[in-house]
């Protein structure tokens, strides 16, 4: 069937979905898969002003909210930094966030992304 213009996946969206899938693989416990719930994280919504998680990033891709790769990377960093702010060093979540941020940014270096061509310019 022919995709209507509105349904046509923009090249950037397809790329971001692929990058998101690769980042999610680095979160095997799915600590970052969904918004953090105040019931499990007391006071979270008062401490963290701009929550972010992978499901929200996926929704933003689907809604074409990301106008550039840098906006996508900023949300990824925000998500990890939120976890390193709310959770004390040494906790399972602080360690997971630090590891995820490090591994994720390695995947998002220009060297790794250049093969994807001029989609990013």
Ligand X SMILES: COc1ccc(C(=O)NC2CCC2)cc1-c1cc(C(C)=O)n2cccnc12
Residues at the site binding ligand X, with contacts judged by CB under 6 A: 31-34, 36, 40-41, 83, 86-87, 93
Which has the closest alpha carbon to 96: 40, 53, 44? Answer: 53
Instruction: Quote the least distance from Cβ 39 to ligand X, whole Å.
Output: 9
Which C-beta is closer to ligand X: that of 41 or that of 73? Answer: 41
- How many C-beta atoms lie closer than 10 Å to residue 75's C-beta? 19
Which C-beta is closer to ligand X: that of 69 or that of 87? Answer: 87
Tokens of 92: 């399972």
Q: Please give the biggest Cα pair distance in the chain.
A: 52
Instruction: Quote the least distance from Cβ 33 to ligand X, whole Å.
Output: 6
Which C-beta is closer to ligand X: that of 69 or that of 80? Answer: 80
Question: Is residue 89 within 8 Å of residue 98, measured between CB atoms?
Answer: no
């Amino acid at each position: 069937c022919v995709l209507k213009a509105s349904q046509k996946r923009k090249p950037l969206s397809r790329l971001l979905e692929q990058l998101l899938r690769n980042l999610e693989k680095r979160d095997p416990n799915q600590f970052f898969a969904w918004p953090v719930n105040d019931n499990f994280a007391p006071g979270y919504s008062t401490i963290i002003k701009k929550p972010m998680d992978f499901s929200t990033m996926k929704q933003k891709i689907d809604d074409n909210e990301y106008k550039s790769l840098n906006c996508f990377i900023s949300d990824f960093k925000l998500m990890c930094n939120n976890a390193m702010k709310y959770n004390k060093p040494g906790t399972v979540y602080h360690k997971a966030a630090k590891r995820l941020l490090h591994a994720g940014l390695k995947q998002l270096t220009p060297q790794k992304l250049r093969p994807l061509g001029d989609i990013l310019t």
